[in-house]
Structure 1
Amino acid sequence: MRITTSILALALLGGASGAQAQDISVETMKAVTQELSSDAFEGRAPGSPGEERTVALLEREFAKAGLQPGNRGSWVQDVPLVEITAKNVTPLIFTGGRTPLSLAYGPEMVAATYRITPHVAIKDSPVVFVGYGINAPEKGWNDYAGLDVKGKTVLVLVNDPDYAMEGLDGPFSGRAMTYYGRWTYKYEEAARQGAAAAIIIHDTVPAAYGWNVVQSSWTGPQHVADAANGHMDQSEAIGWITLDKARELMAGAGQNLDALMAAAKRPGFKAVDLGVKASLSFDNAIGRHRSKNVIGLLPGKARPDEYVLYTAHWDHLGRCTPAPDGDDICNGAIDNATGTAALVALAQAHAKAGAADRSIVFLAVTAEESGLLGSAYYAANPVFPLEKTAGGVNMDALSMAGLARNVTVIGKGKSGLDAYLDRALAKQKRVASAEPTPEKGFYYRSDHFSFAKLGVPMVYFEGGEDLVKGGKTAGLKAAEDYTANRYHGPKDEYDPGWDWTGTMADLRLYYDIGRALATTRDWPNWAEGDEFRAIRDSSAERRK
């Protein structure tokens, strides 16, 4: 039997949203999620046997659903990647302070490189604390002002200077993280400044996850996009250190970390040369491979050269830091076997409903966990023109906390797609809420961002925290439990006891938004003044 949710849930939502909603199969969701997150898929790391199994599953399921191969007769788009695995990592040693400090790889520090090179050696590199490591001329903020860090190691704080504010009116949007707060930006700017190494000081609250997440995410194979220059314009080494070890380092250099962190929040902060030197070395095992984005197409009947996009990333971390019981497979059941399964279930529903006016594209991307590499590659090399893409929906880590009265919109108010979501929510008598934790920077952490940067409006929302059973207290508890105990760890595994009611209600929203986009002549745009508005306006001219 194909169902979407329980009779009780339907009653709470005011009934199903039409006959087509019943075509979204919870059995498909369960079966595909369970299979993708089984140990046989080994955590779905790009370039692994798990990738081969994942791609084969998606090709099979897309074909069974009634889709066509989306890339000129092929189900896949090749994504050139390089896998870099650090070997023989020495401790990160700081000398020149009151006493030498040696940080162990894994529990106290992690290190990697974007450079495609067999060996990295940082020797006696002067260490400079550069605050938040931000250079934002439009905001009159430059932590590197008057500073030459060529050949040096920079220590950087995570997030923005005003992340602890209650409101959103600070120089960097207050509590809401901007791209300047993301760890990816910190390394990008350090490389532009010529730093030999860039080390982020981990702090759980502004990072939005514990050290366990850093350790599991950074101590296995890392992936970068292949590049002709081998990324030799990047810093030699990048990494993180724990907050406790950062305090020891600062104390040994005659500094107080809390005082430096407070100073770094204020405009006009001046970088501090710590008078210590850093040394670190490691070898790299390098392997090139072509990972795969998987693309299915439901051609439109009236305007097949206009497109609506559904995206989800199929990859996860593969084998990672073992749990206490020895389990070293990061199965990624929630993140993101659920979203990948949703592509299949929605493909089934749309195909059964028949062709819409516009074509609908189902895109399962690779290497999201490595920095949105698969979606970035598609956006830079689109199979279907971005200026002819009306908009889309991104699905990442669907909630199993149960039915909620709301959904949490990442980037609420940024584009005209909010209206499509609101109409879909009204059918279920639910509401859209802004992010309760904008300081976590979720807008920059999933694949919609790759398309937004190039002008395509994408809506991305998560299961809400105001649960029908237990309210906001229960919702917050469930979110915190997942982050602390399963996120990017070996215990993100399929659970037969999951409550699917909230997920299936959310899938009806994804369906309704996509179907509405596929039947309208509207071209949704970004809000006036949004950073992505200009590029969308430019693409509108090309569309003519």
Structure 2
Amino acid sequence: MRFTICAVVSLLFSSAVHAEEISEADLLNHIKILASDDFGGRKPGTAGENKTVNYIATEWQKAGLVPATGSPSWYSPVALVERTPLKQTVELKYSDGKKTKTVRIDEDQIILRGAMPFANLTNVPVVHVGYGNLSVSEMKPAVSGKIALVNRSSLPGATDFPAYSVRKANVIAAGAAGVVTVIGSQSRFNRFARRFGTERTGLDQPEQHADVEGIISAAAADKLLSKAQIDPKQLGEDAKSKTFGPIATGISANLSIVTQVRRFVSHNVIGKLPGRKPANGAVLFLGHWDHLGECRGEGEADRICNGAVDNASGIALLIETAKRLNADRLDRTIYFLATTAEESGLLGAKAFVAESTFPLDKLVAVFNVDTIALTPNGKKIAVVGRGKTAIDDDIEKVAKAEGREIDTSDKANAFVRRQDGYVFLEKNIPTLMITSAFADQELLNAYLNGRYHDADDEVDDQLQLGGAADDSNFHVALGRYFGSLESYPTSSVPNNTGE
């Protein structure tokens, strides 16, 4: 059989591409290490962090990346603070017009912690800010120096409503001495209480914390308001107005709080593959490296939350994707970011965006990778963030070329705010999380209701890597598409059309 030169070159190229495909074994090698007991559950601020970030940097260096922190180091520091409530005394008072009375609130229905080890507030007025959706300047006169009650839930029926983290930050910026979050149902309050009553990590930035923060059950908040002659149901209806302003409750608080406070420095890991034409923009791949450390109590046979799926699998994808893209010498620079403290509220991603080591306005596309190892194959993919950016058509082109089917139900968009990519999406940067794991709702729910955030999320015969391998190769295709001026010629960041 005779071949033309072009045909021979085509065959060789096809063979080379096939040989480069990321396999299940490639991913498993990394997951076994990152999710081993030796890494202790990859909790920030522990020896497990040191091993994790060193492993990522070493593997990225082998893959051909160079540091992208603005220095020769791979590691970008993130200052964190861990707070654990230890003791509280709460006295809530109101006047009936004749004398001052105390409202009795069961101690298990309100949980508080301080920004500092010891917090004492005396005769501080309590205001209710509804959902806290007014601007900082609008709230400041009524909120400054006071304790603010804020509804955690979103305004019913509202679209484009700010996330609770944004609303809370605005209340703090308005000068509130305390922010106490009202949690709807008792069952939901109980879930929040289990977490709030233990250690909680945040960015170590004073302006992001009120002197006192806490949670209160809706039933307890209603009791408090009723005693002060405020109708909780009517207030709830009034608060649904987008123009609802803070109201004085006539209640004052005496609070004494003891909190264990630990400050430490964690690290993001940042690398890049320099592009041949870097002036034409850049692409970013990211995923969080952290997990929960020891998550079971004393006496348990297995106390370590290893985080094989969440998110050793995503880091494995980033390592192998970097290897493949290094061989392509793409036009645009390809950045890789492994974030810390995602499990504590996307903290590493937030710290990076606040002080990025390269211009964010150069990013033409961002792809977050999280929790990919759930499906035996990845033919169908979910696009978390679909419909919220201007690059959906381009994703469809890549999917078609790669023989992948996009889940058009968009059920996975329920997770938009729960993953690191949301921090970039908030900045109007086109950001998506693309994975087969979130396209199979049955398998995803089984994981979330079972092994998720538990010691069972480890390397065993239940680990599914077929879909993870398919997703990994799809991310290589994304890197090639968006990294090339031929396939994606735009040099400006597309407008975000979503939230």
| 1:82 corresponds to | 80
Q: Does 1:100 align with 2:104?
A: yes
Change beyond 3 A, Cα 1:508–1:80: closer
TM-score normalized by structure 1?
Answer: 0.74
Q: 1:35-74 counterparts in 2 under 5 A?
A: 35-71=33-69, 74=72
Query: Do 1:312 and 1:447's aligned partners in 2 also have CA atoms closer than 8 Å?
Result: yes
Change beyond 3 A, Cα 1:414–1:466: closer
Deviations 1:101-140 (A, max 9, x none): 1323xxx554445x4x332223443333322111159xxx
Query: Do 2:69 and 2:76's aligned partners in 1 also have CA atoms closer than 8 Å?
Result: no
Q: 1:318-357 counterparts in 2 under 5 A?
A: 318-320=293-295, 322=297, 325=300, 329-351=304-326, 353-357=327-331
Amino acid at match of 1:332: G
Q: Does 1:525 align with 2:478?
A: no
Q: Does 1:407 align with 2:360?
A: no
> 1: distance between equivalents of 2:135 and 2:70?
42
> 1: distance between equivalents of 2:294 and 2:460?
20
Deviates more, 1:339-348 or 1:150-159: 150-159
Amino acid at match of 1:526: P
Q: 1:201-220 counterparts in 2 under 5 A?
A: 201-203=182-184, 211-212=190-191, 215-216=194-195, 219-220=198-199
Query: Do 2:111 and 2:196's aligned partners in 1 also have CA atoms closer than 8 Å?
Result: no
User: 1:52: Cα distance to partner?
Assistant: 0.5
| 2:367 corresponds to | 393
Secondary structure of the 2:411 match is coil
Q: How many aligned positions are there? A: 476
Change beyond 3 A, Cα 1:147–1:377: closer
Query: Do 1:154 and 1:198's aligned partners in 2 also have CA atoms closer than 8 Å?
Result: yes
Q: Does 1:191 align with 2:156?
A: no
Larger radius of gyration: 2
Q: Does 1:159 align with 2:157?
A: no
User: 1:260: Cα distance to partner?
Assistant: 4.2
Query: Do 2:272 and 2:335's aligned partners in 1 also have CA atoms closer than 8 Å?
Result: yes
Secondary structure of the 1:502 match is helix
User: 1:271: Cα distance to partner?
Assistant: 4.8
User: 1:365: Cα distance to partner?
Assistant: 1.6
| 1:119 corresponds to | 118
Query: Do 2:132 and 2:167's aligned partners in 1 also have CA atoms closer than 8 Å?
Result: yes
Q: Does 1:416 align with 2:390?
A: yes
TM-score normalized by structure 2?
Answer: 0.80
> 1: distance between equivalents of 2:42 and 2:463?
22
Secondary structure of the 1:88 match is strand
> 1: distance between equivalents of 2:73 and 2:140?
52
Amino acid at match of 2:479: G
Query: Do 1:17 and 1:508's aligned partners in 2 also have CA atoms closer than 8 Å?
Result: no
Change beyond 3 A, Cα 1:507–1:273: same
> 2: distance between equivalents of 1:210 and 1:491?
26
> 2: distance between equivalents of 1:502 and 1:89?
47
Change beyond 3 A, Cα 1:437–1:430: closer
Deviations 1:237-282 (A, max 9, x none): 2232345544555566566655543443245546554444444433
| 1:128 corresponds to | 127
| 1:378 corresponds to | 352
Change beyond 3 A, Cα 1:465–1:192: closer
Deviates more, 1:236-245 or 1:320-329: 320-329
Q: Does 1:291 align with 2:266?
A: yes
Q: Does 1:448 align with 2:415?
A: no
User: 1:496: Cα distance to partner?
Assistant: 3.1
Secondary structure of the 2:55 match is helix
Aligned with residue 475 of structure 2, among 504, 510, 513: 510
Change beyond 3 A, Cα 1:480–1:340: same
> 2: distance between equivalents of 1:518 and 1:447?
21
> 2: distance between equivalents of 1:256 and 1:403?
55
> 1: distance between equivalents of 2:396 and 2:152?
34
% same residue: 27
Secondary structure of the 1:86 match is strand
Query: Do 1:416 and 1:524's aligned partners in 2 also have CA atoms closer than 8 Å?
Result: no
Deviations 1:460-481 (A, max 9, x none): 23436554xxxxxxx2x44344
User: 1:199: Cα distance to partner?
Assistant: 1.6
Q: Does 1:463 align with 2:442?
A: no
User: 1:99: Cα distance to partner?
Assistant: 4.9
> 2: distance between equivalents of 1:124 and 1:319?
40
